[in-house]
Amino acid sequence: MNDGVPEVQAEEGTIGPLRYGEPVYRGCDNCGRAVKIVPLLSGNTLGGSLWSDGYLEAPQLPEQSLLGKCRGCGEIVCLADLPPHPAPGIKDKSEDYTFVPLAPDDYEYLLANLDNVSAAYQLYIRIMFWQVSNHKRRGSGDVEPLSDSERDNLMELQKLLGNAQADRLIKVEVLRQCQAFEEAEALLADEAFDEGVMSIVERLRQLVAERNAGLVKLFSCEPEQEIPVHFHR
């Protein structure tokens, strides 16, 4: 999403296999202005790409943000936690009430103020800062060094991850991007992984053996193909 939820996504409710529900209006808990949210009902990964940081790029399955900025006051709000706003009370529905997606600077601000963020969102914020910061590297072909704030975030992210398979794969990728190749090798060697993700495991093993710290695309599918596996949380 480039600008909240585009209006066209809500007009018919269905775009091929991609289905949206009716718009929901919430009230900003800072200024009370309406925030428009169009829920995603269904989608698929046809023609999608999966990156090594777990980011899923799929035209038929757009990301559903948990956080956004109110267009009225510019405050960052938890979209799922906003109270209902009575749609009849919105005087001018031609005005843009979609939320503004967060940029890397916004996530960095949240990370500097975690005392004001619930624990349930802290892991989400760290993963989102990592992935959004990586957008500039996607398809560039260059291994752009991590900034100090990116590296610090990854070190803290690793502490929050558990022992679930998806978490272990993300740990490997965090270590690889931080050039901690020996630790990544040890984690890949010691842990048992399900057969369904072995293609990812083997690719990560190859990248670690090559001492490659760059962001890579694990899968890139044709329009009629779905991504066979995923490990994003």
Instruction: From first to last of the 233 residues of the chain, give the pLDDT tens digit.
Output: 333 333 323 333 333 478 889 889 999 999 999 999 999 888 887 888 899 999 998 888 888 899 999 999 999 999 999 999 876 667 666 789 999 999 999 999 999 998 877 777 899 999 999 999 999 999 877 678 999 999 999 999 999 998 889 999 999 999 999 999 999 999 999 778 888 889 999 999 999 999 999 999 998 776 666 666 555 54
CA gap 145, 217 in Å, rounded: 18
**For residues 214 and 39, is the Cβ–Cβ distance under 8 A?**
no
CB proximity list for 2: less than 8 A, separation 6 or greater: 101
**For residues 71 and 96, is the Cβ–Cβ distance under 8 A?**
yes
Phi-psi region of 120 (alpha: psi -120 to 50; beta: other; left: phi over 0): alpha
pTM for this one? Answer: 0.82
Predicted pLDDT at 192: 84
3-state secondary structure of 183: helix
Which of 52, 39, 106 has the alpha carbon at shortest distance from 74? 106
Predicted pLDDT at 106: 95
**For residues 52 and 218, is the Cβ–Cβ distance under 8 A?**
yes
For residue 20 the two structure tokens come to 């949206």
Predicted pLDDT at 6: 31
Q: Is the dihedral of CA 222, 48, 1, 217 positive or negative?
A: negative
**For residues 82 and 66, is the Cβ–Cβ distance under 8 A?**
no
